Structure 1
Amino acid sequence: MGIKEESAERERKTLRYSLMVATALAVLAAVWGWISQSQVILLDGVYALIGMVLTWMSLRVSRIADSGPTARFPFGKEALIPVVIAIQGMALLATLAYAAVEAVRVILAGGADVTAGSLAAYGAISAAVSVLIWRYVGKVDRTSDLLVAEARQWGASAAFSALVAVGAVVAMILGRTDFSDADRYVDSVLVLIGCAMLVPQPLALLRTALVELLEGAPSQQVQAHVHDAIAAVRDEFDLDEPALTMSKVGRKLYIEAMFMVPPHTWEIDDEDAVRRTFAKHLADLPYEPWLNIELTTDPALML
């Protein structure tokens, strides 16, 4: 099994584990939020539920993208990965917008009674679980766009749950002061603060997806690896700096490199040798390189 195949298998295994935990938390939040009539817990439950659906989509897309090219899709289906990440971002953004509007409505209606102790217990449990899964998912494979998106989601969930716990403590303190009536607004205020905290996460997902859908350049780390491979090829074959372009879609890395060479000194076999050497130096990347390596004697044809 190659590096790319091992990475894809780790990705799917991690997504399955994340899906199981997300399902359990979604059920817990829905039941707890309904019993306690807490907006903020219900929001966390809805957020977890949407995350669960999106994780399932990520798992499906990981399998589809790994199925390889077909007659109808000769370049494979890797573009599904940024599409799903964009859907994740839009769905989470819409959820936060709805929650914020609903929180404002409750505040204007005079707030709502919520048991602070229940909020604190839920927040502590959810935060602890989310932190554990966030750390686990984040360490498995930092080159997987789907796992990076999944880790961001768990990190945001951990921060949100911690906010719930802290807000509940504030509500308990207010209940023992002259501002005891203010605790009716704590739940909705927590929703608004949580929405503001979570907004950067779906925006980051949308930005990542947009860059890949527009065939943007890969990360600086990947670019550095490609430049190291170029340097090794140049040293071995005594070549000048090439015209180089690269982009990444999912786990597919597209690279075009054109080298200027003196006339009547290179043959097609030599170009094949350059291509094989370049591919060898990229073999330890967890991506599938699609290489277009050319040698030319005409400066006008340089990329």
Structure 2
Amino acid sequence: MDAILEICEMQDYDTDRKKRLESRSLSVAMWGNLFMAAAGLVAGLLANSSAILLDGLFSLIGFGSALLARRISRRIDAGPDNARPLGYAADEAIFVTFRAISLLGLLLFAVTNAIRNIYNYIGGMIPEPLNFAPMITYFTGIGLTCALLWSFHYFTWCKTEKSSAILRLEAKAALFDGLITVSAGAGLGAIYLFRDGPLAPIVPVGDSVIVLLLCLLAIGSYAREFRGGLGELAGVSASPAHLATARRALRSAIAEDGGRLQDMSITKLGRTILMMVYYDPGRPVSAAEIDSLNLRMIRDARTTLTNADVLLVISEHPRRWPDELSPY
């Protein structure tokens, strides 16, 4: 028991360290995105560029997301209480899901607006010309800022043993924002250089064409994030790799106890991996013995799966009742 308590203390220290790293990274994300949002909105209005305005709106969503993520991060590892009997792990999956929805909504709005501008141009309506003067300063500064944010989030995510879905999404968002900035800058630069040459027919709507292409490329990535978060909230089984790792981790404890593993289910919710172990000890056991075995399983599981939790169910049957006993 002393060994288990010592391990728990070490895990608490490690959890606190990870939370400090995550909070620091999210603070940097919050202020970095606020700077980029302000720069994007001002530069977009000065340059009359929808691509730059879209870039600024992405950063504005990033600021709000980082602010919300900091609040979630502070309590995400809190255990069950009266308000949340299953703990707060679901908050991370909720955050990832709804951030993906907000970004998808922005992308769809930008696509609709770009298509409308192109349609109006084909119909004979000439949009206001672009002002290229502020663009070089904007694209250089924002590109460097995105690169710094991505590297900071990515290396912090690695330091937290890649357990934070929030940091992973923030790193991906910073990388995508940087790709949008670089691509938009390259596209607008090409339009400026070849405005009297081969790109002359699309110069009036070149900005909208760039926005349309970038959004269509990005929709798939955020749709995957949305499906992943929604799957976690729905309780979809974790990957086969997680299942295989969990079985290997618990093999020693089950062999030493001498019982029989009837079934195992694994779900992932945010950074928490919940393992439901259906176990038949094959003999009368006391509550103290069950608690000791459960704690041993948690300890063994966390050696290979960070933030794993094990719920030990003593039963002769797997997760689904046999047809002759089923109450449904």
Other-structure match for 1:113 = 129
Partner Cα distance (1:16, 1:225) in 2: 34
Distance 1:195 1:150 in 2: 18
2:297 aligned to which of 278, 283, 292: 278
Give the equivalent residue in structure 2 for 1:41. Answer: 52
Pairs aligned (count): 298
- What residue in structure 1 maps to residue 212 of structure 2? 192
Q: SS at the partner of 2:211?
A: helix
How big is each residue's C-alpha offset from its partner over 1:106-144, in whole Å with a ceiling of 9 and x where there is no partner?
A: 232324311346435433432232123223212322221
Q: 1:112 to 1:51 in 2, by over 3 A?
A: same
Q: Could you say which residue in structure 1 is the equivalent of 2:168?
A: 148
Question: Any conservation in 1 of the 2:47–2:132 contact (CA below 8 Å)?
Answer: no
1:50 corresponds in structure 2 to: 61
Distance 1:74 1:133, change over 3 A: same
Matched, 1:293 2:312: yes
Residues 27-176 of structure 1 aligned to structure 2 (within 5 Å): 27-107=38-118, 108=120, 109-116=125-132, 118-141=134-157, 142-176=162-196
Distance change (3 Å), C-alpha of 1:178 and 1:223? closer
Q: Which runs of 5+ in 1 are unaligned?
A: none
Alignment of 1:222-261 (within 5 A): 222-261=242-281
Superposition TM-score, scaled by structure 2 size: 0.81
Structure-1 separation of matches of 2:248 and 2:13? 21
Residue identity opposite 1:236 in structure 2? E
Residue 322 of structure 2 is aligned to residue 302 of structure 1:
no
Misfit runs of 4+, over 6 Å: none
Contact 2:154 2:167 in 1 (8 A): yes
My pick for the range that moved more, 94-103 or 253-262, is 253-262
In structure 2, what is the Cα distance between the partners aligned to 1:41 and 1:127? 12
Q: Secondary structure at the match of 1:205?
A: helix
State the Cα distance separating 1:175 from its structure 2 match: 2.1
Relative distance call for 1:214 and 1:267 in structure 2 (3 A) is: same
- Does residue 207 (structure 1) correspond to residue 207 (structure 2)? The answer is no
Check whether the contact 2:147–2:175 (CA below 8 A) recurs between aligned residues.
Answer: yes
RMSD: 2.4
Shifted more, 227-236 versus 28-37: the winner is 227-236
Distance of 1:36 and 1:220 partners within structure 2? 50
Tell me which moved more, 46-55 or 171-180: 171-180
> Unaligned 5+ residue runs, structure 2?
1-11, 320-328
2:223 aligned counterpart, secondary structure: helix
DSSP 3-state at the match of 2:312: strand
Asked if structure 1 preserves the Cα contact closer than 8 Å seen for 2:51 and 2:184, the reply is: yes
Q: CA deviation at 1:164?
A: 0.8
Distance, in Å, in 2 between the alignment partners of 1:186 and 1:272 is: 66
Q: CA deviation at 1:46?
A: 1.0
* Deviation at residue 222 of structure 1 after TM alignment: 4.1
Q: Secondary structure at the match of 2:128?
A: coil
- C-alpha contact (below 8 Å) 2:275/2:311 kept by paired residues: yes
Q: Which AA in structure 2 matches 1:217?
A: S
- Report Cα offsets for 1:17-65 as digits up to 9, x if no partner: 1111111111111111111111110111011111211121111122233
